[in-house]
Amino acid sequence: MATSTHCPYCALQCGMRLTAGNDGAGAVSVTPREFPTNRGGLCHKGWTSAAVLSTPDRLLRPLVRDADGSLVKTTWDEAYTRIVRGVKRARARSGPDGVAVFGGGGLTNEKAYTLGKFARVGLGTAMIDYNGRFCMSSAAAAGGRTLGLDRGMPFPLGDLDGADAVMLVGSNPAETMPPFVQHLRSARERGGLIVIDPRRTPSAALTDDGAGVHLQPLPGTDITVLMGLLHLVIVGGGADERYLADRVTGWDAVKRSAMMWWPEAVERETGIPVAELRCAAKILMKSAPVVGGHGAYVLTGRGAEQHAHGTDTVSAALNLALALGLPGRVGSGYGCLTGQGNGQGGREHGQKCDQLPGYRKITDPAARAHIAEVWGVEESDIPGPGLPAVQLLDALGTPEGASMLFVHGANPVVSGPRSGRIAERFAALDTLVVTDFVLSETAAMADVVLPSLQWAEEEGTMTNLEGRVLRRRRAVPAPDAADGPRDELRIWHELAELLDAPAGFATDPADAFDELARASAGGIADYSGLSHAALDAWELADDEGGTGAFWPAVRDAMTRPDPRTVGTPRLFLDRFATPDGRARMIDVRSAGVADDLRPDAPLYLLTGRLLQHYQSGAQTRRVAELNGIEPEAFVQIHPLTAARLGIGEGDDVEVRTRSGAAVGIARLSNDIRRDCVFMPFHFAGRGAANLATNPALDPVSSMPEFKVCAAAVARFDEQDAPTGDDDAAHGEHAARAGQAVRA
C-alpha cells in the first residue's frame, strides 16, 4: 500500500508516495505525486530518498563512550543514566544554563515545539538555539521589521506561474530545489528572469537566449546592486507612488539614499555593466502592476542573506519590492526561499533562543503567561532569552558557557562557521549528547548517542517555504527491538520524568500538535485551527491528494474550510502585520564584507550547495547514487586565475583563510569570477568548507557570514601543509570521530 507523504529534504516539501514491501518492510519505492510545489516532479535527492532508510550504518542501539574513548553499544537505561548524571554535574557547576540545546530545521513541528519546551522546563535552561540561525535568520529579521511577520513566501508558490518577472537575489533553485524551476516558466518565456549571483550557476544559466539577465556582482555588494536598481526605478518613473502613500512608511528617506546610486557608481562598486543594470530595472518596471504588467516577484536566498549585513541586504530587496508596489498584491510580491525542510516551522515554535511557540517573543509578559498556562507551569519557570547559535557554540566548555550539550537534528561540526573551532569546543564539553539515525560527524564526537527514527518511520507535520502545514506520515515500521531507535518525543518524555520536570510531555505526535496549536493561539504563527485529524480530513476531501493548510489558521475562522485554501494562502492583501498596518521601509547603507581582500588573501571564498547533496551531507553522502556523482570536495576556480597560481584541473587545492583551511580538487570553470573561488559545504574532513568560513555576525540576526571571506589559494602538498590551531582542533575531532564503534 502506498503512503502519501513528503520528501525529507528541502523546504519545497515535494509530494511523494512511499511503497514498502508486502510485509511492510524491505525495499521502499518512491513515486512523485501531484502537489502544488512539485506538480509531480522530484529532484535526484527526492527520487533516491528511500535509500537512506536502509543505510548499512543505521544506528540501532544507544552508544556511550567508554574508558578507552570508544563508542560502545549499551541500553537505553544506561544511556539515560549517563545523561542524568551529566545534567546534574552541569547544573552543580553553573546552574540550569550549564546545559545547552542545539536543534535542527529538519525536525517536525511537533518535535521542534517539544524540544523548545524540554529545554526550558525539562532542563530549565535558556541556552537553546538551532541551525536555522545559519539559514533563515536574516530574512526573518528583515521581514519582521518591515512586514510585521516572517513567513518565507507570503503567497502560494503557484502564484509565480503568471508573472512577467521574477528576480532571484542570491538563490540557485535549479540546484537546491529543482522542481521549483517550473514555476519560472512564464517569466522566462517573457524574458523576465533576473538572477543576481557572483557565479554563473544553473539558475543563472536559465537567463540565456533572451530569457532574462544575469547580474554578476562583486561578492558582498548586493545592497549596492539593489539600491542601484531602486535608483533606476525612481528616475524611470516606475515607483508606485499611490501604493507607497497608502501602504508604506519610510519612503522619503529610502528614496534620498537610493538617488546617490546612479548606474555608473554602481558599476564601479559592483562590476555590473550599466547596460545590464538598466536592462534588469526595465524588466521590473514594465512587469509591475502599477503600469498594468502581469506581476513581478523579488525572491531572496542564502547568497544574499548569509552575510554580516544580510538583514540589511534583505531590507534593500524589500525596499525595491515595495517601491514597485509588489507585496500584498495577488500576482506580485516579495518572498524568501527557505532552505531546510522545516526551517519555517522550526523557528516558529520555540527553537530560537528568543522565541516561544507561535512566533512569540520570550520577553513579552503576555506571551510568557499564555505559554505558562498551556504548559501548566509558573511563568517564572520559563527562562528568559539565551544566546544565538554562534555565541552559544563558541562559549561551550568555557567558564562562561555550558559544559553539557544536547544536539538534535543537526551536524554543526560540518555545517557551522569556522567548524574547527566548533569541534574544539565540543571536545571541551563534559558531556555531549547527540540524537541521530546515523553516526554523523557530530554524533561521532558524542559521549552519548541516542538512535532516533527516520522520516518515513514517524508521524508529524512540516511547514514548507510557503507557510503551508503538511502531514508527514509513517510509511514503514521502525526497527523492532527493546533497545532500538526511539522517537524523540518518547526520549524527551522519559528524560523529563527522570529529571523531575514540572511539566508533562506528550509522546503521541497528534497530542503534541494539539498542544502546539493551543500554545500558538493568538500568536503571529497561529496554528490553533489545525490538527492531525483536520489535516487528514481535508486531504481526503481533496482530489489532488492533500495540499495542507496555510498559517495563520485561526480556530474561529476554520468552521467550513475549503480544503484547497485552508488558512491564509496570501498575506498582507488588506494590511501589513505592523501595528499601523503599513510596511516600514528601512533606510540601509551599502557595506563591505567583514573579511575583505588583502595581499596575503587576494581571492574571495564563496560557498554553497550542489544538486546531489543536502546540508552537511550526513544523509546524501550515504546514498551511493548521489555520492558517486559528487564524491568529494572541490574548488571551482577560473582558468585564468588557476593558470596564474600554477593550478591544473584535478590538482589538490588548499583554500586558507583567517579561520582555517579546507582542501578540495580543482575544477576549472568560466562560470566563476576571476577574483573568486567556490566550495560546496556538504563534505567533512579536510574538505569541509566551513573550516575556512568567516564567523562574523550580522548585528541584527546573528547570521554568520558564510558566503564570502578573503582567502589564499594554492596547490596543496600534504607534506608541506602548515598546522594552525584550527587544523589541530579539526585533527582532534577527526581522531575522536574515527574511533570504532564496538559491540
Distance of CA 35 to the CA centre of its chain: 22
Q: Report how far residue 549's alpha carbon sits from residue 555's, in angstroms, rounded to the nearest whole number.
A: 12
Residue 83, pLDDT score: 98
CA 524-525-527 angle, 5° bins: 130
Q: Report how far residue 176's alpha carbon sits from residue 46's, in angstroms, rounded to the nearest whole number.
A: 12
Q: Report how far residue 336's alpha carbon sits from residue 302's, in angstroms, rounded to the nearest whole number.
A: 9
User: Is 517 contained in some domain?
Assistant: no
Q: Report how far residue 52's alpha carbon sits from residue 273's, in angstroms, rounded to the nearest whole number.
A: 46
Given a contact cutoff of 8 angstroms between Cβ atoms, the answer to whether 233 and 261 are in contact is no
Taking only the tens place, the pLDDT of each residue in 701-729 is: 999 999 999 999 999 987 665 554 444 44
pLDDT classification of 165: cutoffs 50, 70, 90: very high
Q: Report how far residue 250's alpha carbon sits from residue 587's, in angstroms, rounded to the nearest whole number.
A: 7
Query: Which run of H or of E encompasses 690?
Result: none
**Is residue 500 exposed (0-12), middle (13-18) or buried (19+ Cβ within 10 Å)?**
exposed
**123 and 105 within one domain:** yes
Residue 540, pLDDT score: 59
Count the residues in the chain: 743
Residue owning grid cell 520570550: 362
Cell numbers standing for residue 487: 522517537
Q: In 428-529, where does DSSP find H-type helix?
A: 488-498, 509-520
Whose CA is closest to 160, among 283, 36, 344?
36
Q: Mean pLDDT, the chain, as a whole number?
A: 93
pLDDT classification of 88: cutoffs 50, 70, 90: very high
pLDDT classification of 135: cutoffs 50, 70, 90: confident
Through-space distance between the first and last CA atoms of the chain, rounded to whole angstroms:
36
**75 and 25 within one domain:** no
Q: In 575-705, where does DSSP find H-type helix?
A: 624-627, 639-645
Q: Report how far residue 37's alpha carbon sits from residue 7's, in angstroms, rounded to the nearest whole number.
A: 11
Beta partners for 168? 195, 299
User: Is 583 contained in some domain?
Assistant: no
pLDDT at 234 over 70: yes
Residue 737, pLDDT score: 47
Residue 543, pLDDT score: 44
Given a contact cutoff of 8 angstroms between Cβ atoms, the answer to whether 653 and 722 are in contact is no
Residue 720, pLDDT score: 61
Q: Residue 17 belongs to what domain range?
A: 2-48
Given a contact cutoff of 8 angstroms between Cβ atoms, the answer to whether 263 and 298 are in contact is no
CATH number at residue 647: 2.40.40.20
Cell numbers standing for residue 469: 502545514
Strands 676-680, 652-656: parallel, antiparallel or unpaired by DSSP? unpaired
Whose CA is closest to 123, among 495, 435, 506?
495
**23 and 91 within one domain:** no
User: Is 108 contained in some domain?
Assistant: yes
What is the pLDDT averaged over residues 151-164?
96
For the chain, percent helix, then strand, then coil, each to nearest 5? 35, 20, 45
pLDDT at 560 over 70: no
Strands 704-705, 694-697: parallel, antiparallel or unpaired by DSSP? antiparallel
**367 and 329 within one domain:** no
Cell numbers standing for residue 216: 554578476
Q: Report how far residue 588's alpha carbon sits from residue 664's, in angstroms, rounded to the nearest whole number.
A: 37
What is the pLDDT averaged over residues 556-571?
69
Residues 6+ apart with CB under 8 A from 598: 710
Taking only the tens place, the pLDDT of each residue in 406-439 is: 999 999 999 999 999 999 999 999 999 999 999 9
CA 331-337-339 angle, 5° bins: 155
Which of 482, 510, 538 marks a domain boundary?
510
Given a contact cutoff of 8 angstroms between Cβ atoms, the answer to whether 19 and 1 are in contact is yes
**395 and 287 within one domain:** no
User: Is 500 contained in some domain?
Assistant: yes
Minimum mean pLDDT range among 42-51, 378-387, 717-726? 717-726
Supply the DSSP symbol for 493.
H
Reduced to 3 states (helix: H, G, I; strand: E, B; else coil), residue 692 is coil
**124 and 242 within one domain:** no
| Amino acid letter for position 237 | G
- How many other C-beta atoms are found inside a 10 Å radius of the C-beta of residue 497? 13
pLDDT at 733 over 50: no
Phi, psi for 536 (deg, rounded to 5): -65, -40
Strands 296-300, 333-336: parallel, antiparallel or unpaired by DSSP? parallel
What is the pLDDT averaged over residues 78-96?
98
HEC string of 12-69 equals CCCEEEEECCCCCCCCCEEEECCCCCCCCCCCHHHHCHHHHHHCCCECCCCEEECCCC
Buried/exposed 381-400: b ≥16 CB within 10 Å, e otherwise? bbbeebbbbbbbbbbbbeee
Residue 717, pLDDT score: 84
**235 and 280 within one domain:** yes
Residue 26, pLDDT score: 67
**372 and 490 within one domain:** yes
CATH number at residue 242: 3.40.228.10
CATH number at residue 119: 3.40.50.740
Residue 729, pLDDT score: 43
Buried/exposed 307-319: b ≥16 CB within 10 Å, e otherwise? bbbbbbbbbbbbb
**Is residue 622 exposed (0-12), middle (13-18) or buried (19+ Cβ within 10 Å)?**
middle
Which of 313, 337, 361 marks a domain boundary?
337
**124 and 216 within one domain:** no
Residue 728, pLDDT score: 40
Given a contact cutoff of 8 angstroms between Cβ atoms, the answer to whether 664 and 632 are in contact is yes
Whose CA is closest to 349, among 460, 451, 449, 443?
460
pLDDT at 655 over 90: yes
**297 and 197 within one domain:** yes
User: Is 505 contained in some domain?
Assistant: yes
Longest CA–CA span in the chain (Å) reads 73
Q: What is each CA distance from 44 to 260, 464, 476, in whole angstroms?
A: 46, 19, 22
User: Is 26 contained in some domain?
Assistant: yes
Minimum mean pLDDT range among 224-238, 550-564, 578-592, 622-636? 550-564
Q: How many domains does the chain have?
A: 4
pLDDT classification of 736: cutoffs 50, 70, 90: very low
Phi, psi for 8 (deg, rounded to 5): -85, 0
Q: In 222-364, where does DSSP find H-type helix?
A: 222-235, 241-247, 251-258, 263-270, 274-287, 302-305, 310-323, 343-348
Cis bond leading into 552, ω under 30°?
yes
Whose CA is closest to 497, among 177, 121, 162?
121
Given a contact cutoff of 8 angstroms between Cβ atoms, the answer to whether 157 and 465 are in contact is yes
pLDDT at 731 over 90: no
pLDDT classification of 482: cutoffs 50, 70, 90: confident
What is the share, in percent, of the chain residues with pLDDT greater than 90? 88
User: Is 549 contained in some domain?
Assistant: no
What is the pLDDT averaged over residues 349-378?
96
Which of 462, 477, 510 marks a domain boundary?
510
Minimum mean pLDDT range among 56-60, 582-586, 589-593? 589-593
Residues 6+ apart with CB under 8 A from 74: 61, 62, 63, 64, 483
HEC string of 611-627 equals CCCCCCCCCHHHCHHHH
**105 and 44 within one domain:** no
Given a contact cutoff of 8 angstroms between Cβ atoms, the answer to whether 709 and 691 are in contact is no
CATH number at residue 6: 2.20.25.90
User: Is 580 contained in some domain?
Assistant: no
What is the share, in percent, of the chain residues with pLDDT greater than 70? 94
**Is residue 163 exposed (0-12), middle (13-18) or buried (19+ Cβ within 10 Å)?**
buried
**497 and 384 within one domain:** yes
Residue owning grid cell 582542501: 663
